[in-house]
Amino acid sequence: MADWSHVGDAYAASFAALCAGAVDAVLDEAEARTDGRVLLDVGTGPGTVVIAATERNWDAAGVDAEESMVATARRQRPDLPFFVRALPHLGLEDDTADAVTANFVLNHVPDARMSARELARVAKPEGIVVATVWHGVTSPLRPMWDAVLDAAALDRPAEKTLPPDKDFARDADGVAGVLRDGGLSGVRARVVSWDFAFEPEALWAGVEGGVATVGGIYRAQDAGTRARMADEYRRYTGERAGADGRVTVAHRAVLVSGRPG
Q: Which is nearer to ligand SAM, 108 or 180 (CB)?
A: 108
Q: Does 70 bind ligand SAM (CB under 6 A)?
A: no
Q: Which of 115, 95, 114, 120 is nearest to 105 (CA)?
A: 115
CB-based burial label for 223 (10 Å; 0-12, 13-18, 19+): exposed
Q: Which is nearer to ligand SAM, 15 or 233 (CB)?
A: 15
Q: Does 145 bind ligand SAM (CB under 6 A)?
A: no
Residue nearest to ligand SAM (CB): 45
Residue in 69, 128, 176, 207 binding ligand SAM, rule: CB under 6 A:
69
Q: Which is nearer to ligand SAM, 23 or 189 (CB)?
A: 23
Q: What is the DSSP letter of 39?
A: E
Q: Does 43 bind ligand SAM (CB under 6 A)?
A: yes
Reduced to 3 states (helix: H, G, I; strand: E, B; else coil), residue 172 is helix
Q: Does 44 bind ligand SAM (CB under 6 A)?
A: yes
Minimum CB separation of residue 235 from ligand SAM in Å reads: 27
Q: Which is nearer to ligand SAM, 27 or 152 (CB)?
A: 27
Q: Does 38 bind ligand SAM (CB under 6 A)?
A: no
Judge contact between 105 and 131, C-beta under 8 A.
yes
- Window 73 to 112, contacts with ligand SAM (CB under 6 A): 86-87, 103-105, 108-109
Task: Please count the residues of this chain forming the interface with ligand SAM, following the rule CB under 6 A.
Answer: 20
Alpha-helical regions (H) of 90-211:
112-122, 142-151, 172-181, 200-208
- Window 215 to 234, contacts with ligand SAM (CB under 6 A): none
Q: Does 34 bind ligand SAM (CB under 6 A)?
A: no
Pairing verdict, β 185-198 and 247-259: antiparallel
Name residues whose C-beta falls within 8 Å of residue 150's C-beta, 6 or more positions apart in sequence: none
Q: Which is nearer to ligand SAM, 168 or 232 (CB)?
A: 168
Distance between CA atoms of residues 43 and 30, nearest Å: 17
Q: Please, how many CA atoms are within 13 Å of residue 4, restricted to the half-sphere of its CB?
A: 23
Reduced to 3 states (helix: H, G, I; strand: E, B; else coil), residue 18 is helix
Residues forming contacts to ligand SAM in the complex (CB under 6 A) are 4, 16, 19, 42-45, 48-49, 64-66, 69, 86-87, 103-105, 108-109
